[in-house]
């Protein structure tokens, strides 16, 4: 076929014209080759680390990639802008990194993102997520390489110190009061609880408390003791309902006497008639004692067991030759009463108050005032 075409041309064209045509064809081919060499660019596309080297007539990056049928998504990385004009004098290198889907669970929310970043830390930074000093990653670490479908969970960790107040119970101090009756109590100070503060560190993860650690405690105010005084003075109620306060009790025998000659060996008008050993006038309420057992001047209460009335309050102001040991002699104004009394068992209470000295100062006994 080609031979026939050449023979046709030779018959149709003179030899000179044929030579000119050949020369023009060569020139055209040479010019085309030169023009192609001037317009063609070398391009190297590295996609996810895999290089592809080609020649292209495209004027910019976008045209070159279109010819190569390479598309770049909105989340992909490309090292050179699409409108960058290609350099015909040197190799054009274009890096492309494909974005992959990732699952981010942060602040209790789960969302899917696309990222071309290499590490977990870069993805977190790219999404504008701040990481606190106590926050931690779960299942991954910041330097882990990113892979498609990776779950990245950032746990928010927060600590706070709280203070709780606790009462310190006050103690109760009981102390004796020698002026109060036995069985009586009196509050001198009501007492007050103290306060101490306890400090705890609470750790939260994603807003939920997961740990409580005791740190220290501090006393804010000391407790104030409650002070209660209790009476020590022995006492009882006599048959007349009077309160008798005593320091000592003795069981004794009691006889009775008057100022008569039979009892004292003196008659009315005799010196010292009706006057006791201590110098006060004898009358009911005066008793004779053994000073070795009950000192003179001691105030007492004489109780008579049984249905008979008590002798009552008295003062040891007299003595007698026959009054020895646990024996007392009770003064009565009536000789008949003395005769009826005879000798009886009595209970003698030494009274608690012994500071009344009026019996020494005049003829009126203390018990009558």
CATH number, span 160-230:
2.20.230.10
Residues near 244 by beta carbon (within 8 Å), at least 6 away in sequence: 235, 236, 237, 238, 301, 349, 351
- Separation between Cα atoms, residue 230 and residue 175, nearest integer Å: 6
More confident residue, 267 or 115: 115
| Range 41-97 classified under CATH 3.40.50 | no
Q: What is the CA radius of gyration of the chain?
A: 64
pLDDT score recorded for residue 354? 79
Per-residue pLDDT band at 363 (split at 50, 70, 90): very low
pLDDT in tens, 259-271: 988 888 888 888 8
CATH number of this structure's domain 241-368, picked from the four choices 2.40.50.1020, 3.50.50.60, 3.40.50.10540, 2.40.40.10: 2.40.40.10
Domain ranges in the chain?
2-39, 41-97, 100-155, 160-230, 241-368
Per-residue pLDDT band at 144 (split at 50, 70, 90): very high
- Separation between Cα atoms, residue 277 and residue 359, nearest integer Å: 12
Q: Decide if 123 contacts 117 (C-beta within 8 A).
A: yes
The helix (run of H) or strand (run of E) holding residue 112 is strand 109-115
Residues near 246 by beta carbon (within 8 Å), at least 6 away in sequence: 233, 234, 235, 236, 301, 349, 350, 351, 352
| 123 pLDDT more than 90 | yes
- Separation between Cα atoms, residue 301 and residue 366, nearest integer Å: 13
CATH class as words, domain 100-155: alpha beta
More confident residue, 318 or 19: 318
130 to 75, 84, 348: CA distances (angstroms): 21, 35, 94
pLDDT in tens, 192-245: 999 999 999 999 999 999 999 999 999 999 999 999 999 998 898 998 889 899
Q: What is the mean pLDDT of the chain?
A: 87
Q: Characterise 325 by phi-psi region: left (phi > 0), alpha (psi -120 to 50), beta (else).
A: left
Q: Decide if 275 contacts 281 (C-beta within 8 A).
A: yes
Whether 241-368 and 41-97 are alike in CATH topology: the answer is: no
pLDDT score recorded for residue 360? 44
DSSP β-bridge partners for residue 95: 46
- Separation between Cα atoms, residue 128 and residue 113, nearest integer Å: 12
Alpha helical stretches, state H, 141-298:
261-264
Q: In which order are the strands placed within the sheet that holds 208-221?
A: 157-168, 194-205, 208-221
Strands 208-221 and 312-318: unpaired
Other C-beta atoms within 10 Å of 218: how many? 10
């Amino acid at each position: 076929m080609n031979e026939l075409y050449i023979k046709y041309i030779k018959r149709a064209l003179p030899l000179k014209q044929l030579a000119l045509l050949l020369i023009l064809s060569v020139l055209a081919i040479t010019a085309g080759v030169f023009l192609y060499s001037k317009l063609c660019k070398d391009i190297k596309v590295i996609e996810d680390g895999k290089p592809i080297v080609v020649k292209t007539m495209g004027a910019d990056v976008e045209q070159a990639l279109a010819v190569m049928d390479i598309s770049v998504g909105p989340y992909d990385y490309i090292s050179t802008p699409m409108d960058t004009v290609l350099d015909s004098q040197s190799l054009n290198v274009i890096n492309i990194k494909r974005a992959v889907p990732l699952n981010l669970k942060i602040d209790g929310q789960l969302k899917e993102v696309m990222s071309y970043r290499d590490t977990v830390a870069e993805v977190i930074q790219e999404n504008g997520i701040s990481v606190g000093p106590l926050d931690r990653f779960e299942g991954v670490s910041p330097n882990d390489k990113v892979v498609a479908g990776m779950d990245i969970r950032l746990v928010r960790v927060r600590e706070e110190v709280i203070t709780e107040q606790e009462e310190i119970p006050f103690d109760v101090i009981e102390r004796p009061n020698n002026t109060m009756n036995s069985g009586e109590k009196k509050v001198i100070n009501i007492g007050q609880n103290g306060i101490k503060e306890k400090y705890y560190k609470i750790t939260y993860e994603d807003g939920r408390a997961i740990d409580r650690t005791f740190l220290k405690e501090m006393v804010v105010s000391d407790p104030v003791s409650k002070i209660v005084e209790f009476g020590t003075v022995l006492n009882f109620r006599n048959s007349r309902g009077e309160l008798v306060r005593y320091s000592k009790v003795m069981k004794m025998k009691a006889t009775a006497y008057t100022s008569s000659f039979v009892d004292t060996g003196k008659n009315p008008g005799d010196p010292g008639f009706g006057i006791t050993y201590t110098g006060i006038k004898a009358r009911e309420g005066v008793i004779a004692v053994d000073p070795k057992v009950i000192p003179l001047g001691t105030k007492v209460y004489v109780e008579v067991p049984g249905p008979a009335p008590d002798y009552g309050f008295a003062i040891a102001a007299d003595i007698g030759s026959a009054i020895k040991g646990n024996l007392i002699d009770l003064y009565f104004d009536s000789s008949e009463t003395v005769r009826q009394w005879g000798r009886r068992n009595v209970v003698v209470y030494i009274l608690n108050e012994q500071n009344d000295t009026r019996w020494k100062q005049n003829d009126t006994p203390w018990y009558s005032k």
